[in-house]
């Protein structure tokens, strides 16, 4: 989850994402307000993300 501070740290976030992805992991970001104000939509976004990944075919 990303709060407001991440909007000013795009370079850092990009570098961090590259490091995480170098381990074969994937990154999906949610802003705090997406979770706080519309959890169901955020959950649908996460499920869609996972379904698109061949590692989660049973979802």
pLDDT for the residue 5: 58
For position 18, what pLDDT does the model report?
Answer: 94
Q: Quick one: pLDDT at residue 50?
A: 86
- Domain of residue 22 covers 4-51
Phi, psi of 2 (to 5 degrees): -115, 130
pLDDT score of 19: 94
Establish if 29 belongs to a structural domain: yes
3-state secondary structure (DSSP) of residue 29: coil
The domain tally of the chain equals 1
Tokens of 48: 């869609």
For residue 56, being part of any structural domain is answered with: no
To which residue do tokens 């170098």 refer?
22
**2-59 per-position pLDDT tens digit:** 556 556 678 888 899 999 999 988 888 888 888 899 999 999 999 998 888 776 666 5
């Amino acid at each position: 989850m990303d709060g407001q501070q991440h909007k000013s740290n795009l370079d850092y976030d990009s570098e961090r994402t590259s490091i995480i992805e170098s381990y074969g992991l994937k990154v999906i970001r949610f802003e705090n307000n997406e979770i706080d104000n519309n959890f169901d939509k955020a959950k649908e976004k996460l499920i869609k993300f996972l379904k698109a990944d061949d590692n989660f075919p049973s979802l």
